[in-house]
Structure 1
Amino acid sequence: MSKAIKREQEVVVISGAHKGKRGKVLEVKAGERVLVEGVNMITKFERKTQENPEGGSAEREAPIHYSNVMSAEKFDAKKK
């Protein structure tokens, strides 16, 4: 797993469907995947429960592989 990417760090997606998007790392998951704020959004459907009697859907981030992101500082330095 990459030691360079840490939680609360700003990153840029460098490949895939979300190429060019920026966001803050919310979580580094085991298995070389990261959750990036506002990137790779999926719709998660929720069952009806006592806490949520209506059920419904919620949008949340899905993890992406850490090799598809780069530190924003490094990305901006490389661009110059």
Structure 2
Amino acid sequence: MSAKLKIRKGDKVVVITGKDKGKQGEVIRTIPSENRAVVRGINVAKRHQKQTAAQEGGIVSKELPIQVSNLALIDPKDGKPTRVGYKTLGDGKKVRVAKRSGEVIDG
């Protein structure tokens, strides 16, 4: 069983290490079983694609999964990388909060 990811689809993230360090993007999908996420415009590779009836052939650019440990969520308050914590609101709802500013990430 894999650990719960603190990053979700639609989150704005920044790459903190690797060849794309410093680049920002939006999470397209997460792969919790592998602790990976696919981020728009990050970890792009060129793939040769064979022509089919539905698709054109040629060289296509494709985003590949990146380790979640190499990503940091962008703080909604100041736009800088932050870690993620959890807080329970008064009505019993559990929400993600930015450790940097204390701002609620998802309402």
1:4 is matched by which residue type in structure 2?
K
In structure 2, how many angstroms separate the alpha carbons of the residues matched to 1:63 and 1:70? Answer: 15
1:39 is matched by which residue type in structure 2?
I
Instruction: Report sequence identity in percent.
Output: 32
1:19 is matched by which residue type in structure 2?
K
Whether the aligned pair in 2 keeps the contact of 1:13 and 1:70 (CA below 8 Å) is: yes
1:7 is matched by which residue type in structure 2?
K
Which structure's CA Rg is the greater one?
2
CA RMSD of aligned residues (A): 1.9
Alignment counterpart, residue 81 of structure 2, candidates 72, 75, 78: 75
Matched pairs, number: 77
Whether the aligned pair in 2 keeps the contact of 1:33 and 1:63 (CA below 8 Å) is: yes
Which protein, 1 or 2, shows the higher relative CO under an 8 Å CA cutoff with sep ≥ 6?
1
CA deviations 1:5-49 (Å, max 9, x no partner) are 000000000001110000000000130110011011111111122
Name whichever structure is richer in helix by fraction.
Answer: 1
- Structure 1 residue ranges (4+ consecutive) displaced by more than 2 angstroms after TM superposition: none
TM-score by length of 2: 0.64
Task: Tell me, yes or no, if structure 1 residue 43 matches structure 2 residue 46.
Answer: yes
Q: Which runs of 5+ in 2 are unaligned?
A: 83-99, 102-107
Q: Which runs of 5+ in 1 are unaligned?
A: none
Task: State the shift of 1:3 in Å.
Answer: 2.8
